[in-house]
Structure 1
Amino acid sequence: MPRFLHLADVHLGFDRYDCKERTQDFFYAFNDAIEKYAIAERVDFVLIAGDLFEHRNIQPATLNQAQYCLQELQKAGIPVLAIEGNHDNRPYGTKTNWLRYLADWGLLILLEPGDATAEESFYSPWNGRSGAYIDLDCGVRVLGSSWYGTSAPKAIEQIVAAMGKLPPSAGPTILMFHHGLEGQIARYQGALRYADVLPLKQAGVDYLALGHIHKSYSLENWIFNPGSIEANSVEEASYQRGVYLVEINETGIQAELKQDYYQRDVVRLKLSTNGQESVEELEQQAIAQVQQAIQQNRLRPADAPIVELRIDGQVGFDRLELDTRRLQQQLQQLSNALIFLLKYEVDSLAYASHLTEDASRLQIEREVFLDLLTANNSYKKRAAELADGLIALKEQQLEGRSEAELYRFVRDMVLPERLYSVDALESEELS
């Protein structure tokens, strides 16, 4: 009975965090997955349902990674069948890309439908160098497709029509298709409805091998999407994802999601503030949050994980008073994180005192000062006193008092407990 490995969204060359080690993670994940679930399991073939690469234009090191993994499969006698995704498809108007390069070197079979506008056959058989479908020795027919974007529903109509013109298949038929179905993740526009893809099953597709959405899902035991091999963002860390090890036999399709391969840990932490903390207290709470995660073994410094700490809520000080760069560096050192993401998403406390319609200008000024002072933890206990002081300061300035007099007034208002020597006072006035 045919057995195969279905994977997608490898994203070799991933460089979102500008971190060489993180880029390497995607190679390690790909290599480990194929060693464990393709080579060791002696599958008949491997499917890559789009986005082998993160970019259309790749670095030499990324090409080397792809070649190494594909050569290992070649040595094991396991053919690799691939299609383009939205990340690595060939630009409009061009005839080649890096997937075509790998196909020309015999490292994979790139299944590309013909161009109907150029009067090419939509589904021509693989001839050793090009083609859109292939009948494998194990009795499985595999059909390819392209990246269609918003025109996917129209493309499905073309695929169904083209399938009707093909000779009968000796066994099950698989279609690789890089697109997503609705209802799987939030904020994904252009997703296909089940009704859009159902004609494929009616036309003879037994296994729809999807890619594109980085979360694993399956429907009706004929639609399968493994998700990305590695998390492309901290948000994706919570997704079920992996590779499908599949067997098709007389009882149907048995697809098992495999996840036990190299993946870097991603730890997400959250700290909510209530507006009562000082800057120093907030820093200590952030440190304590990371320490607690370490103690609970949720965060293992020895693994050099990716860590996100999201701070939200309200703060009783100007939000810019917190030195986020310095705090991020402290937390990264404490956690030994490969990447530490500090998401500082707070609002400063705001107060709005109720004023009557006939309030005087002096009353309005005082309430404005009170609101500003009350919102700052450093001054709110003395807000009324300081508000009166600021009004008095304004009056003295209007009276034409000297800078030295105004300085002494502010000093005594803000720091009434401080005792100044004559020398210290003279030094301050001269500075």
Structure 2
Amino acid sequence: MARFLHIADIHLGFDRYDNKQRTQDFFHALKDVIQTYAIDQQVDFVVIAGDLFEHRTIQPATLNQAQICLKKLQEAGIPVLAIEGNHDNRPYGTKTSWLQYLADWGLLMLLEPGNVSQGQPFYAAWDARTRRGGYVDLDCGVRVLGSVWYGASAPKAIEQIAAAIQSLPAGPKHTVLMFHHGLEGQIARYQGALRYADLLPLKQAGVTYLALGHIHKNYAVEDWIFNPGSLEANSIEESSYQRGAYLVELNDSGVQANLKSQYQQRSVVRLRMTTQGQESLEEVESAALAMVQQAVTDGTIAPTAQPIVELRIDGHIGFDRLELDTRQLQQQLQQISNALIFLLKFEADASTFVTPIAEDANRSQIEQEVFLDILTANNTYKKRAVELAQGLTALKDQQVDGRSETELYAFVETLLTSEANPQPSSTPV
């Protein structure tokens, strides 16, 4: 029997939202997972199926985070086997990467196929002296093989991998292959996903556990394909995904993989408010503040945890979108919730009214209807829309007549403060 931990898409150095504390979350998640599900569980080995890092070029602090976690495993005598993902693979034309650097320091085994065009075998056994190789046979009775990021050429690469596996010397009963790619049908808007049929050659070649990465959502297929998902949510949308780390046991009965999600993660709360178009600007602001306050009161938002909070305001509004000071409202909402990051998404559309205009309408009639539509759509002015539309027409006429700015300003002031429509003092053009 062999037991191991399967993780992927760790993304150390994550820097979205430009928040240092959020960047630390990804380090704390990895450190907690390693302690709780690898060291405390005394697993035989750990596999990292790509994207240990967020970027190919990393900051010293990010490298230090990786070293801290990997040294904990090294001190516990637990080998780490890894591959590069699309985020941390070496740039084209270069011969090394930060994962290779970690391998050279003995903190992990970076398992990669050889360069066949240069006469190297596709899969060579891991050489502890050179710290190079494509596969390793572990003492616990498991063969682990690596791969690289193939992108669009993945289906063809799978055929090559399957053929190379079948040409290897006989090995342990269980074969684990690390592969950084996604399977179709798991998430929307993902181009280039593999079909299940594309992966079948690997099963036929003897792979008993396909350790995937790349898609940040957990899924498993037919007890041999497993994707744990990212350790932390890389976006608000991903917060709804089930994800974590697989604690796996390989025995004579087959594969038992259990997804583990009880480790340190930043909580994410998503709220939604839909406006009907009848509310004033002040009422929309008050409703947003009340919604977040209620979420705090009922425990949906735990201020002491400094969560990430999103409030999405959609629907319709009866005022100009620019009238809402979203920055000020966002600051107020963040203060109420004590959120580490508060995202206010104001997506409500301004109500529109389009009055049918007769084909034989003259210019004056068309202008009047346009003014009327604009005013009717505004919650502040819609009750006086007819009156104000007439006033705007009169204002236009006065401007055309050459009235002074002082006279025009006085007319507008009277128009907005009077209950009755002021009589125009000029003859319409």
Structure 2-normalised TM-score?
Answer: 0.96
In the TM superposition, what whole-angstrom CA distance separates every residue of 1:278-331 from its partner, at most 9, and x where no partner exists?
111111111111112112211100100000111111111110111011111111
Report the counterpart of residue 424 of structure 1 in structure 2.
Answer: none
- 1:293 is aligned, of 280, 292, 295, to 295
How far 1:401 sits from its partner (Å)?
A: 2.2
Following superposition of structure 1 onto structure 2, how do residues 402-417 of structure 1 map, counting pairs within 5 Å?
402-416=404-418
Following superposition, which runs of at least 4 residues in structure 1 exceed 3 angstroms of deviation?
A: none
Report the counterpart of residue 124 of structure 2 in structure 1.
Answer: 124
**1:201 counterpart letter in structure 2:** K
Structure 1-normalised TM-score?
Answer: 0.96
How far 1:75 sits from its partner (Å)?
A: 0.5
SS at match of 2:415: helix
Following superposition of structure 1 onto structure 2, how do residues 113-262 of structure 1 map, counting pairs within 5 Å?
113-128=113-128, 129-262=131-264
Gaps of 5+ in 1: 419-431
Report the counterpart of residue 18 of structure 1 in structure 2.
Answer: 18
Aligned length: 418
Following superposition of structure 1 onto structure 2, how do residues 40-59 of structure 1 map, counting pairs within 5 Å?
40-59=40-59
Report the counterpart of residue 360 of structure 1 in structure 2.
Answer: 362
Cα distance in 2 for residues equivalent to 1:243 and 1:354: 60
Cα distance in 2 for residues equivalent to 1:406 and 1:261: 67
Gaps of 5+ in 2: 421-429
**1:54 counterpart letter in structure 2:** E
SS at match of 1:68: helix
Cα distance in 2 for residues equivalent to 1:271 and 1:329: 18
SS at match of 1:175: strand
How far 1:417 sits from its partner (Å)?
A: 6.2
**1:253 counterpart letter in structure 2:** V
In the TM superposition, what whole-angstrom CA distance separates every residue of 1:27-78 from its partner, at most 9, and x where no partner exists?
0000000100000000000000000000000000000100000000001000
How far 1:349 sits from its partner (Å)?
A: 1.2
Q: CA RMSD in A?
A: 1.0
Cα distance in 2 for residues equivalent to 1:407 and 1:17: 46
Report the counterpart of residue 309 of structure 2 in structure 1.
Answer: 307
Cα distance in 2 for residues equivalent to 1:9 and 1:402: 68
Report the counterpart of residue 266 of structure 1 in structure 2.
Answer: 268
**1:142 counterpart letter in structure 2:** V
SS at match of 1:3: strand
In the TM superposition, what whole-angstrom CA distance separates every residue of 1:386-428 from its partner, at most 9, and x where no partner exists?
011111112222222222222221111111269xxxxxxxxxx
Report the counterpart of residue 70 of structure 1 in structure 2.
Answer: 70
Moved more, 340-349 or 178-187: 340-349
Cα distance in 2 for residues equivalent to 1:24 and 1:376: 46
How far 1:193 sits from its partner (Å)?
A: 0.3
Cα distance in 1 for residues equivalent to 2:185 and 2:270: 24
SS at match of 2:246: strand
Cα distance in 1 for residues equivalent to 2:300 and 2:193: 35
Identity %: 71
In the TM superposition, what whole-angstrom CA distance separates every residue of 1:321-344 from its partner, at most 9, and x where no partner exists?
110111111111110000001111
Report the counterpart of residue 86 of structure 1 in structure 2.
Answer: 86
Moved more, 329-338 or 352-361: 352-361
SS at match of 2:4: strand
In the TM superposition, what whole-angstrom CA distance separates every residue of 1:177-218 from its partner, at most 9, and x where no partner exists?
000000000000100000000110001000000000000000
- 1:378 is aligned, of 377, 380, 384, to 380
**2:98 counterpart letter in structure 1:** W
